[in-house]
Amino acid sequence: MRMFGKTGKAAAVAAIAALALTGCGRADNSGSGSSSGASGFPQNSDIGVALPQKTSENWVLAEKLFNDGLNGAGFKADVQFANGGVSEQQNQISAMITKGAKVIIVGAIDGAQLGTQLKQAKDSGATVIAYDRLLLNTPDVDYYVAYDNYKVGVLQGQALLDGLKSKKPNGPYNIELFAGSPDDANAKVFFDGAMSVLQPKIDDKTLNVVSGQKSFEQAVTQGWKAENAQKRMDTLLAGSYTSASLDGVLSPNDTLARAILTSVKAAGKPLPIVTGQDSEVESVKSILAGEQYSTINKDTRKLVEHAITMVKDLQAGKTPEINDDKSYNNKVKTVPAYLLPPVIVTKDNVKTAYVDDPILGPITK
């Protein structure tokens, strides 16, 4: 059983808001999730959405989608970012409880530090939905909605191998490994998924991690900050690649991928194969330009859409749909989950991957 825990576009057009209101096709009572909220609640109820820091475009987009989608459906949306850190998010959730929120959707900064607030939420009668990042070490979470984050890592690992082979059919290849922030439960999941593909190739010497930094703890990037990734890449290049060539880098998201490429350019070295995630505008442009090799399309519109669908079901007294009731053990309970499928994007499919995306579609035509 895997233990699971992610990473806005600056503006969104009206079509996004409309999509956020569209329910997924489903049976009304499918799944075996918690019965919390089964009695329903008034349609004009407060719905709290606690989001983390604005570390990527997708979080900024989620804010707009939740506001537009929840308010458009007749709810009172209370969407908050915790740019001040964990304590601010704790206070925001407590304030949502005081206001009487019937559902609280949580994209946690640190999923292991909200136990007190989540218990308060459950004691108040609210339903708790973990959004994108799993809430850890607590029984007080009812549902989890996310992309399949382990699969994201698998796709990243395979993309790195495919990209390396496209440049040089036969190894060995020199690579380095980057991971996300250690306080984000998803970061280890991405890394483990990627390493399920890469570790056998490290073992058989196809891949060589020249720095020797192969563990998650050695690869982490605190706060998902670009400057931290760039500094580490600067250090790796100076310490391990004065004469060796760097063929590829596992990067867990687009922000860090661009920072890694910036470091390599500054060092005057050939660009390696670099993976990513989140389909950020500048990274999609970079893929089109032949620089960043890959990203992962995790359409935020669809993720917010399903979270709002869960809220609508709870308001109507229905049990929200889930499609995974076995994988997401948060160390206290297995959380009923709804997973969306991630999609790998490279230069080969970048012009077709975003045809329905109102922002990325025009860029890739």
160-177: pLDDT as tens digits: 999 999 999 999 999 999
Torsion of CA 81, 83, 89, 91, to 10 degrees: -100
In the predicted structure, residue 17 carries a pLDDT above the cut 80: no
SS3 296: strand
How confident is residue 142, by pLDDT bands cut at 50, 70 and 90?
very high
| Token pair in block for residue 56 | 């990527």
Q: For the chain, how many residues are written?
A: 365
SS3 195: helix
How confident is residue 55, by pLDDT bands cut at 50, 70 and 90?
confident
CB contact at 8 A, 160 and 275: yes
Q: What is the pLDDT of residue 33?
A: 37
Q: What is the pLDDT of residue 90?
A: 98
**Model pTM score:** 0.82
Element (H, E) at 217: helix 216-219
In the predicted structure, residue 30 carries a pLDDT above the cut 70: no
In the predicted structure, residue 113 carries a pLDDT above the cut 50: yes
Q: What is the pLDDT of residue 121?
A: 98
How confident is residue 138, by pLDDT bands cut at 50, 70 and 90?
very high
Low-confidence winner among 9-18, 51-60, 193-202 (lowest mean pLDDT): 9-18
Q: What percentage of the chain has pLDDT greater than the value 70? A: 90
Q: What is the pLDDT of residue 102?
A: 98
In the predicted structure, residue 5 carries a pLDDT above the cut 50: no
How confident is residue 25, by pLDDT bands cut at 50, 70 and 90?
very low
Map tokens 């499919």 to a residue.
Answer: 349
| Token pair in block for residue 334 | 């297995």
* Cα–Cα distances in angstroms (integers) from residue 330 to residues 310, 326, 337, in the given order: 20, 11, 12
Helix (H) and strand (E) counts in the chain:
13, 12
In the predicted structure, residue 274 carries a pLDDT above the cut 70: yes
| DSSP for residue 135 | P
DSSP letters for 11-32:
---HHHHHHHTPPPS--TT-S-
How confident is residue 148, by pLDDT bands cut at 50, 70 and 90?
very high
C-alpha–C-alpha distance, residues 335 and 323, integer Å: 11
Map tokens 């009206």 to a residue.
Answer: 14
Q: What is the pLDDT of residue 284?
A: 97
Q: What is the pLDDT of residue 276?
A: 98
In the predicted structure, residue 335 carries a pLDDT above the cut 80: yes
In the predicted structure, residue 309 carries a pLDDT above the cut 70: yes
Radius of gyration of the chain (CA): 21
Map tokens 């690992």 to a residue.
Answer: 157
C-alpha–C-alpha distance, residues 290 and 298, integer Å: 21
C-alpha–C-alpha distance, residues 268 and 188, integer Å: 31
Q: What is the pLDDT of residue 162?
A: 98
Output the CATH code of domain 149-297.
Answer: 3.40.50.2300
Q: pLDDT digit string (tens) for 174-189?
A: 999 999 999 998 999 9
Q: What is the pLDDT of residue 38?
A: 53
C-alpha–C-alpha distance, residues 334 and 144, integer Å: 10
**CATH 3.40.50.2300 for the 14-148+299-340 domain, yes or no:** yes
Between β-strands 248-250 and 273-274, what pairing exists: parallel, antiparallel or unpaired?
Answer: parallel
Q: What is the pLDDT of residue 365?
A: 87
* Cα–Cα distances in angstroms (integers) from residue 84 to residues 9, 117, 243, in the given order: 21, 17, 43
Residues 6+ apart with CB under 8 A from 237: 246, 263, 264, 267, 269
Q: pLDDT digit string (tens) for 233-256?
A: 999 999 999 999 999 999 999 999
CB contact at 8 A, 155 and 344: yes
In the predicted structure, residue 118 carries a pLDDT above the cut 50: yes
In the predicted structure, residue 37 carries a pLDDT above the cut 60: no
Q: Where in the chain is the domain with CATH 3.40.50.2300?
A: 14-148+299-340, 149-297
SS3 78: strand
Kindly state the average pLDDT of the residues 31-39.
45
In the predicted structure, residue 344 carries a pLDDT above the cut 70: yes
Residues 6+ apart with CB under 8 A from 329: 1, 2, 3, 4, 335
CB contact at 8 A, 252 and 228: no
> Which residues are registered as beta bridge partners of 139?
none
| Token pair in block for residue 336 | 């009923």
SS3 content of the chain, % helix, strand, coil (to 5): 40, 15, 45
C-alpha–C-alpha distance, residues 92 and 364, integer Å: 38
